[in-house]
Structures are given as C-alpha cells and as structure tokens.
Amino acid sequence: MRQDSLYHDTPASSKVPQADQSRLVELKDQIRHHDYLYYVKDRPAISDGEYDRLFRELSDLEQKYPELITPDSPTQRVGAPPLDELGKVPHERPMLSLDSLVDPDQTLAFDQRMKRELQTDQVEYTVEPKFDGLSVELVYDRGAFVRGSTRGDGNVGEDVTINLRTIRSLPLQLQGRSHPDHLVVRGEVYMRLADFHALNRRMTERGEDAFANPRNAAAGSLRQLDSHMTASRPLVVTCYEVMALSGSPLPSHWAELEALAEWGLPVPILRRRCNTIDEVLAFHRETEQQRDHLPYEIDGVVVKVNRVDLQTRLGMKSRSPRWAIAFKFPPRKEITEVQDIAISVGRTGTLTPLALLKPVEVGGVTISRATLHNADEVARKDIRIGDTVRVERAGDVIPAIAERIPVPDEVRPEPFHMPQHCPICGSAVAREGAYYYCTGQAACPAQLKGAIEHFASKTALNIEGLGKKTVAQLVDQGLVKDLSDLYRLDQGHVLQLDGFAERSSALLLEAIARSKEVPLDRFLMGLGIRQVGQHIAKVLAREFGSLDAIMAADRDRFQTIREIGPEISASVASYFQENSNRQVIDQLRRLGLSIVDAPTSHTQVAHPLSGKSFVFTGGLTRHTRDEATALVEQRGGTVSSGVSRKTTYVVAGTDAGSKLDLARKLGVQVLSEEEFESLMNQPDST
C-alpha cells in the first residue's frame, strides 16, 4: 500500500543499496497497514510478535541508514525534548460544545424542533458513542499530520502536536490518494479501561497518586511538557467530525465518517444511521446496556442531523450547534466492579491492598479506587478481582468497599493473597499483626519517597518546597538515595528537575540549609520510626535528652518509660539496631546536621508550670498553636486537646467555642492570651 506523503516516504540515497531502500519503504507501508487494521478496523491480521518483528527490522534499517528517516515513519513516535510551556493555537473553526440531555422526552422534543425548523416530517440522524476523553483538533496537509491542539476555550487551544505524534492509533500519514490536500478533523483522545487500570496499578504500587478516572488520565498525559512521558502512556484517539477540508464538502456526517476511515483515521466502530427518533432511542438503550462491556469509557451517545446541508440551515448557537445533542446516560451509583487489586507501599513499608474499580459516582465524586485496609479485612469481606461491590465514602472522604454483592452464576477467581515480595523493590515481605510490610526500608523507592516527604514535613524538619512531586523526581533521577543525600544537593542537581529555575532552586537549597539545626524531638519525628509520632518523639526527647542516649538504649530501657509500651519499645529499638539507619544518621551529622539536645525530665530546672495541663481554644493572635504548645512544653507543662477536671488552664483566643463553655462548667481556670503570655514569662524556681 503506497502512501502519497508530504515527505514522499523515503528520500533516495545513492549510498544505500536499492534493495535496502525498497525494503525500508515496504516495511513502513506494512506497519501502517497493520496499524490501520488494528486501530481503525479493529481486526488485526498478524500477531503482536510478528508486528514487533517488522518494527524492529524497520528500526534496525533506520539506525543503519539514518539519512532515510522521515518524520512520518512509524518509528518516530518516541517523543521530543521537553517544552517550557505549551504554545497557543487558534482553531480553523470554533470547537463548540454540545447541549446535554438525559431524559428521552427531551430527545423527542429535540426531534420535534428539528422537524419544525426544517419544515419536514422526517429527519435522518447519525448516532455514535460520546467518548469520555479530551477533545482535539488534528490538521493534515497533503496527507501528513502537521498540527494538533486541545479544545481550550473553543477558539484557541494548546499546541500538543509532539505529544499527539506519540499516539500509535493516530496516523502520521493518511492512506490512499483520495484524501484532500488540507483536512481538519476533530477527535477524542482517551485511554482504554484495561490500560487505565494497568497504569493506575503501576502508579499505586510506586506510591504515587492514581488518576481518578480515564478522562483525567488522558488529559494529564496529553498535556505533558515532556512528550516522552506522553509516549509512555497508553493513549488512543478516535475521530468523529470533519471540521474543514479543501475541495467539495461531503454530503452527510455518515459520509464524513466513512471517508475518514477510508483515509486511515480511526472512527467510532459503534455507530448507526437512524431514519427516525425511535431508532435513536433504541440505539441509546442498546449502547447503555453494552456500556459496562465496552473496552473504553463513554457517558452517553451523540445525536447529529446527518445531512450537512441541513446542518448549515440549522446553524449554531453561541457555544453549541443547533443540529446535535449529547444524550447522556444516568451516572453510575455506588455499585461497581473490582477490576484489580493493587498493593500500595507506604513510607514505613506497610503494604495496603487497594481495589481498582470501574469508575463510579458516589456522593457527587467519581471513585476509581478504594482501600481494603489490610489482608484480614480482604479475607473477612472476601473481596476478589471481578466482584461486584457497593462502595461508600468513609466519613464522606476515604472511599471504601462496604460489601460484596453476590451475582447469580458468577465464577469467582481464587481468593486474594498478599505478595511474598515487595512489588516495588522485591524485598521480602514480613507480617506484624494484621499488617504486612516491606523489609527493604531505604532500599525500597516507595519507602524512600515517603520517608523523605515525612522528613521534610512541617512537624519534622519543615523543609519548604520539598513536596511529593519534587521528592519523586529526586528519587526517580537517582539524586537522592537516602535522607543524607538531601544535604549533598547543589543548584546543578535541582535545576535538572521539572518546574525549577534559578530562583526556585535557590529557595529550596536555602530551606534545606535552614533545616540543619533541628530540635531532638523534631528529628526523631522526621526519622519516620514506626509508631513514633509527635507525642512519643517528645516523650523520648524529654526522657533521654540526646540522640546518642536514645541510640544506646535497648528495648527493656524504653519499656520503663510510662507512656511507652511493648510495641513502641520494640519498634524504636529495632530501628536504631539497624546498621543502615545508623549509617544514614552518621552521614547526616557529617554533612552538618545539628541535633539540638532537649532538657530532660531529670535535669530541667523546676518551673511553676511543671506538671500543669493546658488546652487551647479559639484563635491565637500572638503565637501559632505550635508555638504556644512549644512554650508550655519547654516549661514542663503538657497540652491536650480535650477539657476535663484534670485540666489546669484553658487558654481562650478569639471565637472560642464549646471547650470554653465546658471549662466554665467544670470550674477550670480560663486564661486570656495576655494572661497566658504573662504566665509564660514567670521565672524558673531556684
């Protein structure tokens, strides 16, 4: 199958044997033909292995003769150097939206309006699925793909040409010789459900935030500044409208779709030409019944007056055509299917099973994954891949599976079992009570990312600018292999990261430098020791006073502390017994980290507030809540969240609430912020 191309397929070269030149052209034609059969006709003629063999042979020839590589070659879909930003592109014709209907009576009313305005008793329609993806404009000149853009505001979109070129279902060269010299097509970029769930599984296992639904995944992937990232995402495109073309217009929308398919562009396979509105309603019902079995996500069908001359007579409104509507499906509610069960690895190595779901709307929010908590919970509810389940938002925030819904005659797979090895690093998985965890610690990228985020958090070393995305880049690019590597970073390293320029990189390095002096309790908090939060970190700091004293203690010594039990004692002792953890701490100190000793309960000077209990309520104007808490604890007092008869003082700020009322009822002394300030300034006892 020869192509009429802007690039004329392959430039001739006297240095290349004629046999190799002919074979290269033949391979390109074969691959394009098989892409057409796979993506447009949905009937592949060769196996994946045979396709890969052809592709490798073409790639090898092009490596041997690089002068024969053309921009429209099937091998040229690997991406280009990253952009600083996406440019703006004016559309050749406005990309309008569609009026949405959900009621069959509204669709009948649309038909009556079409008949009335066209003064006819019958209107022919074309009906096709409404893909739930990202709308794009595609421009072809002399058969070659030259530009692609997002819808944007309908008049101006973002130039995503280099990203669209990475999508294998989009032909870089139209086929045959009948295509117009200039063609502008509208299409939808989306992600097939199986590919979407596979992507979410990989992201979940890496500890990254998964996409909420296939549409978000497609939009986020297509708008990447780095087209290599787009190339790694399994996007597809379907074309459904001719927006402009040179030469004579086609007579109908159905003829447009047939022509697009003939020219090698993927068009909706599921489509129908309907003579009456009753046939439209029937197509809508049939498609809704097929919805859960389709390989992609749709949220309705699009109904268009078929004849182009009638479309022109009907015209446009400001934002939508008068001759087309989106006849939507009702949103899915609560009941959905478990597509897969993935394992998320947290910062402490805990393995959490997550159900990857067919997207469902719950409380106005689209849900595509839900926590299964732990292996015991999965076994108790007997959740397996393929099960039909009811989803709820626990506390109206975290999605969870409420129950499995049995389906008659269903054949279920084997029960789910936790893996024996970490899905991220391959380290052995150990069990502690109901929880499984990876033993790889800092050798596990998922734990390392979480550990760095925790180390840099506000309650620990408070390194501003070191968020999730920055941490992920530092680990993925091999710039940070343990916590101590943070203090080896220089501006050259930071400038390698997306989103960083001279000023922002300097600010991050300044924040890291400021963190080099840290109180003992915050450092302990930052280490991310299992079961050691802010309170236990402060207890340890008060008890031992220095990091060296804590590192020298054993499990029995920790258990002598009133607020520390057997599990916390074992966790702290095992952390500091681990040689790799001690090495990281040693490196941190060598790189200038100063861990400030804390006054211990045995050595601190007596203060009038020793042993007193404080509760804060309302807004403070002179201190943040953390600063006020620190003032109390430095003087031997404690801060709690609830008021009781044991509370010594309640400090009432602006807009104090129910805690103030309870304090008065219980007879607890109430302090204004000024009185609290005065109390803090009392001298130590001598």
Rounded-to-integer distance, Cα 193 and Cα 190, Å: 9
Token readout for 543 is: 């008890």
Token readout for 217 is: 């995944």
- The CA distances from residue 380 to 340, 375, 391, 401, in Å, are 18, 9, 16, 12
CB 647 within 8 A of CB 615: yes
Rounded-to-integer distance, Cα 175 and Cα 74, Å: 14
Rounded-to-integer distance, Cα 377 and Cα 344, Å: 15
- The active-site residue, picked from 130, 358, 449, 538, is 130
DSSP 462: -
Rounded-to-integer distance, Cα 101 and Cα 138, Å: 28
Token readout for 193 is: 């459900």
216: left (phi over 0), alpha (psi -120 to 50) or beta: alpha
Give φ, ψ of 605 to 5 degrees: -65, 140
Task: Provide the edge-to-edge strand list for the sheet that holds 99-101.
Answer: 99-101, 324-328, 298-305, 125-131, 272-274
To the nearest 10°, the Cα dihedral for 547, 548, 549, 553? Answer: 100
Q: Return the number of other C-beta atoms located less than 10 Å from residue 36's C-beta.
A: 19
Collapsing DSSP to helix, strand or coil, 185 comes out as strand
Give φ, ψ of 529 to 5 degrees: -65, 135
Give φ, ψ of 609 to 5 degrees: -90, -5
- The CA distances from residue 660 to 113, 620, 639, 676, in Å, are 64, 14, 15, 15
Rounded-to-integer distance, Cα 41 and Cα 578, Å: 59
Token readout for 210 is: 């998964």
Nearest to 460 by CA among 543, 537, 345, 540: 537
Token readout for 434 is: 């109901």
Q: Return the number of other C-beta atoms located less than 10 Å from residue 506's C-beta.
A: 13
Contacts of range 252-258, beta carbons closer than 8 Å, 24 or more positions apart: 252/126, 252/306, 252/307, 252/308, 253/126, 253/304, 253/305, 253/306, 253/307, 253/308, 253/311, 254/126, 254/306, 256/308, 257/126, 257/128
130 annotated active-site: yes
Query: Where are the alpha helices (H) located in 458-565, listed in sequence order?
Result: 468-476, 491-494, 502-514, 520-526, 534-544, 547-552, 555-559
Rounded-to-integer distance, Cα 352 and Cα 437, Å: 9
Token readout for 392 is: 């709820």
Nearest to 465 by CA among 423, 500, 489: 500
Distance of CA 675 to the CA centre of its chain: 49
Q: Mutual orientation of helices 625-634 and 673-680 as an angle, nearest 10°? A: 30
Q: What is the DSSP string of 594-637?
A: EEE----TTTSPP-TTTT-EEEEESB-SSS-HHHHHHHHHHTT-
Catalytic positions, please?
Answer: 130
